[in-house]
Amino acid sequence: MNKYGLVGKKLGHSLSPEIHNYIFDKLGVEAEYSLYEIEDGKDILKLMKEKGIKGFNITIPYKEIVMSQLDFISEEAEKIGAVNLVKIKNGKSYGYNSDYYGVIEMLEKHGVKVKGKICYVLGSGGASKSVIVALHDLGAKEIVVVTRDVESKRRELKNRFRNIEVVSYENIIGGDIVVNTTPLGMYPNIDSSPLDEEILKRFDIAVDVVYNPKTTKFLQLAKNCSLKCVDGVSMLVGQAIKSDELWEGIEVDRDTRDEVEKRVIERLEEMKNSESNGNKWT
């Protein structure tokens, strides 16, 4: 049985094992997914190899430090500057960024056409990088990053992307698609939104990478303004499935993807209605 898992410093009540093991069970794959808490990230790869792990996901704070330990890094992970998925095969290690594929899965599933569109990305933290690169690769006409740290982020991002601008929240003009990559609205702070209705009216589509709750305050306000709304559950499922596909050399069909997403939504609803609401999908 192949062993996989999530590596991080403090994983708490992460439900990642439930997602991946549900996928393995649905597909009849003989594999198991577990949690691995590590205090120091400098020897992640060595430790995982010693445990006989065939592949693993990585969360904060080790997404950058692991890159120097790998033999190969994918193009999208290089662009993003972070690896959150490692595959070990024939003694060699391969790094990817599954969030990138999760973003694409989320947009494609909900019929969001990016090519030729003006896209705003709210936030400039780690979560924003995968979104920016995915939008860029999908052919966005212009990407506008909205942040409170305009000058330093402008220098950083303009050196990496040709069609990008960086503005403050006070200087949002409007466009076609707006994507929230900030934690505002995430449980337990469910009454927060990065934008109000007055600004949301300047867009056609609102996307939130937050998945707990499924409908955030940001999306509720967008819905009030008649925007097409896309929640973060498809991204969560998409990145998990991409990991399993790369590890096992399989392809997960649409019906199975939909079943997994349905299961995740059910679990989120259970969490919402129980004392375990503080649990986190990672």
Of the candidates 103, 66, 105, 62, which has an alpha carbon nearest to the alpha carbon of residue 87? Answer: 66
* Cβ neighbours, 10 Å, residue 54: 18
Burial code of 256-277, b = ≥16 C-beta within 10 A, e = fewer? ebebbbebbeebbeebeeeeee
Compute the distance between CA of residue 240 and CA of residue 256 in angstroms, rounded to an integer.
Answer: 13
Residue list, annotated binding site for shikimate: 14-16, 59, 84, 99, 211, 239
Sheet containing strand 205-208, edge to edge, reads: 164-167, 142-146, 118-122, 177-180, 205-208, 228-230
Residue among 227, 122, 125 nearest 179 (CA)? 122
Among candidate residues 49, 51, 54, 63, the one labeled active-site is 63
Binding-site sequence positions for NADP(+): 75, 123-127, 209, 232
Residue 63 among the catalytic residues: yes
What is the three-class DSSP state of 94? strand
Backbone conformation region of residue 81, classed left if phi is above 0, alpha if psi is from -120 to 50, else beta:
left
Ramachandran area for residue 118 (φ above 0: left; ψ -120 to 50: alpha; else beta) = beta
Which residues are tagged catalytic? 63
